Amino acid sequence: MGAKLALGISAAFDSGNIIVVGQEGDRFDLEIARDHESDFYQWFHFRLTGAAGRDVTLRILNAGGAAYPGGWPGYHARVSEDRQHWHQAETGYADGVLTIRHRPATNNAWFAYFAPYSMERHHDLVARMAVRPGVRHRSLGQTLDGQELDCLTVGTGAKQVWLYARQHPGETMAEWWMEGALERLTDDQDSVARALRAAATFHIVPNMNPDGSRRGHLRTNAVGVNLNREWHEPSAERSPEVLHTLAAMQESGVDFAMDVHGDEAIPHVFIAGFEGIPAWTDRQGELYHRFRDTLARRTPDFQTARGYDVAAPGKANLSMSTNQLANRFGCVAMTLEMPFKDNDDLPDPAYGWSPARSKQLAADCLATLNEMIGDI
């Protein structure tokens, strides 16, 4: 029988984030690195090697100081040995320390806050979709790190629909949702997609924050800026991603907009609207509530009882995209939130909230939109 392999942990790859601060036998003490030029941190993604058949303990010592410590109780880290299927790992949180315990079957195991969506997968998605019939691709501009801000346009209808995701790069479920939306919208045999393409033109930005995604950030871009607080006054120096996207929206107009996110603490799927904008109209509100209630009837993975507090009249934060777009364009806008934990109304002990459920939710959102696109 050969000697045990040396254990190793690394994060020097696309979206990687972890710091090894100590090791004792099969136990590692770790810390999550902060977003560059920011105090935000919570996203982690690292690789464990040499641990086949060994009971490994991974302790993230600075979890209590993360951006949303309320996200840890009831949370389970995701683990994969083939980088295709991400399962929930045994995870506990106490005294500010997140502890993951796992026995890998092989000498390679990847751990992450949620199933990752790498920039390489993003490029594959864009390339795969851009060659499908009727799909047009353009770069809206470049990020501070020099990456392209990809936009895919589908459909020929008069209604202008904008779907955009990952303003906060660690919320990877948002791009899994985008993959599901694009797959449905480009399916020539899907009657809902055919109807939507005839009624509307879809402008889809699968990843608003490529720099933060590649750098392994939770919430910010290359210079530590939270893009979803820049929509009132974006700049080339701080937030070119928003600047370029808003310019394209201004050119096309916006009738419907969905900003796709993940929430660290709330174990449910929900949407947040634009209550409190100065230019609120009852018609906007009625359509927003119609979408929300229709989606709740369509899928048990969505609910309306739990979510964020509603802003008082005239008190909406116009630096956030949903509020800014609804106020600026008079459109129906919303922020979709999916959990890092699970949907507690319909839990899945093996996978929790997952890429597959994110993609299915996208299909359900598009079917819901199809029921009301003519009235928007």
- Residues noted as catalytic: 337
How many residues make up the chain in this entry? 376
* DSSP conformation class of 67: S
Q: Which two tokens stand for residue 5?
A: 């392999």
**How far apart, in Å, are the Cα atoms of 307 and each of 125, 273, 277, 303, 304?**
31, 10, 18, 9, 7
Residues 206-231: b if buried by 16+ CB within 10 A, e if exposed: bbbbbbbbbbbbbbbbbebbbbbebb
Q: What DSSP character marks residue 374?
A: G
> What's at 3, amino acid-wise?
A
Give φ, ψ of 151 to 5 degrees. -135, 130
173-185 vs 191-199: helix crossing angle, rounded to 10: 90
- Under a CB-based contact definition with an 8 Å cutoff, are residues 42 and 34 in contact? no
| Closest among 74, 259, 24 to 163, alpha carbons compared | 259
Max Cα distance, the chain (Å)? 74
